[in-house]
Amino acid sequence: PPGRWDLVEQCRLDPDRPGSPGYQRLGDWQVSTTDPDATPMKHNGQHAVLGYHDHDVVDGGKDRIILHALVTPADVMENEPMRDLLRRVCFRWHLRPRRAVADTTYGTIENIRALEDAGIRAYVPLPDWDTRTPYYGTSQFTYDPERDEYRCPQGQRLRRKTAKYTEEVVVYRAKAATCNACPLKAQCTSSAQGRIVHRSFYAAYLERVRAYHQTP
């Protein structure tokens, strides 16, 4: 019917979407002849098998009651159904949860915003993006909200340069001359134009979640 939201169809990968140059998706050539809805997924972190993800919402009490369950093809990202599952559980069981606990997989801006805006504390470990780069990570830069600028590990300023509304981030850049003369440049950036740091429009949500984890 018009206006119907099919969660699985909206969240799963579009089979007609062009692949990345030099990369062929496993799902382009591997399909189950008996279960075509099954899609490739990592098994034990190694080889891929055709299968599904199961998503469960569990009450935080001592009984650990399963309040809702959803099974999706494996090409639906694990974090995608979280908001829909939360809404369904709250409506079905007339619940007003004070907190939601999940692992790092669910620590996306969209999920955290939805929880916090609903008055639910998001106890979700945030991904450590700093480990994915050989350079200084963003966490090693200090943000000054009064000046709206960052300070690098050497104490130099990165001033606001522009905002990217499609990516929902603010861009901060250090002066090129300052970075190029810095003795620690090799540990910070390979650019000759100065180090850049991105700050999400919703950084306050992430800072709030970090504060929850630091509270005794």
Q: Which of 49-53, 63-67, 91-95 shows the lowest per-residue confidence on average (mean pLDDT)?
A: 49-53
Is residue 29 classed exposed, middle or buried when 0-12, 13-18 and 19+ CB atoms within 10 A define those classes?
exposed
Residue 91 has pLDDT above 80, yes or no: yes
In the prediction, which pLDDT does 95 show? 92
Instruction: Name the band, by pLDDT with cuts 50, 70 and 90, for residue 168.
Output: very high
Q: Of residues 39 and 4, which shows the higher confidence score?
A: 39
The DSSP secondary structure of 66-105, one letter per residue, reads EEEEEEEETTS-TTTTHHHHHHHHHHHHT---SEEE--GG
Q: How is residue 196 written in tokens? A: 């850049």
Identify the pLDDT of residue 172: 98
Please tell me the distance from the alpha carbon of residue 191 to that of residue 193, in angstroms, as a whole number. 5
- Work out the angle at residue 194's Cα, subtended by the Cα atoms of residues 107 and 172, and round it to the nearest 5 degrees: 45
- Does an H or E element contain 214, and which? helix 203-214
pLDDT for position 192: 95
- Edge-first strand order for the sheet with 157-164 is 142-144, 149-151, 157-164, 169-174, 196-200
pLDDT at 114 over 80: yes
Strand intervals (E) in 102-200: 121-123, 142-144, 149-151, 157-164, 169-174, 196-200
Phi/psi of residue 206, nearest 5 degrees: -65, -40
Q: What are the φ and ψ backbone dihedral angles of 196, each rounded to 5 degrees?
A: -115, 140
Work out the percent of the chain whose per-residue pLDDT is above 70: 82
Give the lowest-confidence range in 132-141, 146-155, 185-194. Answer: 132-141
